[in-house]
Amino acid sequence: MSDEPTPAADTAPALDKRKSIILGIIGLAFIVLIFWKVIPSLGSYDVAFAQLRAMGTGAIIGIVLAVLLYLGLYGLTFPAATKGLGYWQGQQLNQAAFAISNGVPGGGAVGLAVQYGMLASYKIAPAAATASITTVGLWSTFVTLAFPV
């Protein structure tokens, strides 16, 4: 018999399909509510589409390229600040926190909690998760302030 401790089996919890479906339906309901009630109360779809039609092809291509560049690069922020975190995990982390922070009243605080919870689910130590969230947040603020837009 060996004195070596045996590592515990690292088993990921099974995905609860029923819960996923229910949460997906709730999320879809919120999206429908936002596009059906909230956005029309703030502006007009007709005006927005008219503005898009008035734009030149070059401007539309520029916007599409800028969005694609942003989406591609934004997934690199957390992996750069967090040892062992992959690109897709960083992309999921950023997009989830961004959506919550901008879509929920008081969402900034909720977004931070979501980031922390997601990092914990990726098995990032609490101190490293806190340091990563702080680092990414500070640098995002610095970059935002540095650009004249």
Confidence at residue 2, expressed as pLDDT on a 0 to 100 scale: 52
CB 101 within 8 A of CB 107: yes
* Tens digit of each residue's pLDDT (9 = 90 or more) over 5-22: 444 455 555 667 888 888
Could you tell me the sign of the dihedral formed by the alpha carbons of 71, 72, 78, 80, in that order? negative
Confidence at residue 12, expressed as pLDDT on a 0 to 100 scale: 53
Confidence at residue 85, expressed as pLDDT on a 0 to 100 scale: 93
DSSP string, the chain: ---SPPPPP--PPPP-HHHHHHHHHHHHHHHHHIIIIIHHHHS-HHHHHHHHHHS-HHHHHHHHHHHHHHHHHHTTHHHHHSTT--HHHHHHHHHHHHHHHHHSTTHHHHHHHHHHHHHHHTT--HHHHHHHHHHHHHHHHHHHHHS--
Confidence at residue 8, expressed as pLDDT on a 0 to 100 scale: 47
Confidence at residue 139, expressed as pLDDT on a 0 to 100 scale: 92
* pLDDT surpasses 60 at 124: yes
Which has more confidence, 3 or 44?
Answer: 44
**What mean pLDDT is predicted for residues 127-148?**
91
* Tens digit of each residue's pLDDT (9 = 90 or more) over 26-69: 888 888 988 899 889 999 999 999 998 999 999 999 999 999 99
* Tens digit of each residue's pLDDT (9 = 90 or more) over 101-116: 887 778 888 889 989 9
